Amino acid sequence: MARQLYDLCGIDDRLRFSPYCWRVKLALAHKGLDYETRPWHFTDKDAIGFSEQGKVPVFVDGEHTVVDSYEIFRYLDRAYPDNPLLGEGEAESRARFFKFYAERSLAPGMMRTIVMDLFNAVHPKDRDYFRETREKAMGRTLEEVHAPSTGLTLLDKALEPLRGRLSEAEFLDGDAPAGADYLIFGHFMWARTVSTADLVSNADPVYAWMERMLGLHGGLGRSATRIVDIEGAYGS
């Protein structure tokens, strides 16, 4: 049985925007593993009931079902040890920090910038669910969260360590990309697929890294369907 990844989709089945699913797709490409994606919507809880939780990514590899992007990275390193994503020992311990940096330093500024784009990208049947869960988590309405100028300022500050590191190396993991790069880049794919906002100036070392990341694995990121590729996506 082919490997399967349940992958969040939006207003169109081709629009795949979950940062956590992007991590996994990049990781699978890094390992050179084939898989099929199963397009999934936020409210398709029954379809992943077998995973005993309600979120994607859900990765199925034969008898193994693995959830949570970081746990999937761990699983892939155990099951397919070539080309480590995280590695072991201190390499793995340090990789965990990048996960939190993406989710807690980068995501908030991105969210304030793209939240209404994101809402527009969500499948209509998921919008009530999306609004309700996100407003509860953030403690304010989506419209209140929406503040692109504030968001870009937050993001600019949050990018500082990334900028420093990428001034001295091609990738966070050195001469070639690995787990840390994918853990961060997932969030850039999230923003890229749903929004046309320019998050990073093209003179920024982070921009050059984004370009390198978009080109990896046969242009996996660059060729991803974006909201602008979908006819009628803007409320026609």
Interacting residue with its own copies among 17, 35, 73, 101 (CB under 8 A) = 101
212 binds its own copies (CB under 8 A): no
84 binds its own copies (CB under 8 A): yes
82 binds its own copies (CB under 8 A): no
Q: Rounded to the nearest whole angstrom, what is the least distance from the CB of residue 85 to its own copies in the complex?
A: 9
96 binds its own copies (CB under 8 A): yes
Of the pair 75, 98, the CB lying nearest its own copies is at 98
| Binding residues among 136-175 for its own copies as defined by CB under 8 A | 154, 157-158, 160-165, 168-169, 172-174
Interacting residue with its own copies among 28, 180, 199, 224 (CB under 8 A) = 180
Q: Rounded to the nearest whole angstrom, what is the least distance from the CB of residue 201 to its own copies in the complex?
A: 17
Q: Rounded to the nearest whole angstrom, what is the least distance from the CB of residue 190 to its own copies in the complex?
A: 17
Q: In this structure, are residues 57 and 7 in contact, taking their beta carbons and an 8 Å threshold?
A: yes
Q: For every residue of the chain, which 3-state class applies, written as one string?
A: CCCEEEEECCCCCCCCCCHHHHHHHHHHHHHCCCCEEEEECCCCCHHHHHHCCCCCCEEEECCEEEECHHHHHHHHHHHCCCCCCCCCHHHHHHHHHHHHHHHHHHHHHHHHHHHHHHHHHCCHHHHHHHHHHHHHHHCCCHHHHCCHHHHHHHHHHHCHHHHHHHCCCCECCECCCCHHHHHHHHHHHHHHHHCCCCCCCCCCHHHHHHHHHHHHHHHCCCCCCCHHHCCCCCCC
Q: In this structure, are residues 198 and 166 in contact, taking their beta carbons and an 8 Å threshold?
A: no
Interacting residue with its own copies among 105, 113, 193, 195 (CB under 8 A) = 105
Binding segment (CB under 8 A) for its own copies, from list 18-26, 31-39, 96-104, 206-214:
96-104
Q: Beta 4-8 vs 36-40: how paired, if at all? A: parallel
Of the pair 8, 178, the CB lying nearest its own copies is at 178
Interacting residue with its own copies among 53, 93, 141, 223 (CB under 8 A) = 93
69 binds its own copies (CB under 8 A): no
**Chain positions contacting its own copies, by CB under 8 A:** 84, 87, 89-91, 93-101, 103-105, 154, 157-158, 160-165, 168-169, 172-174, 178-180
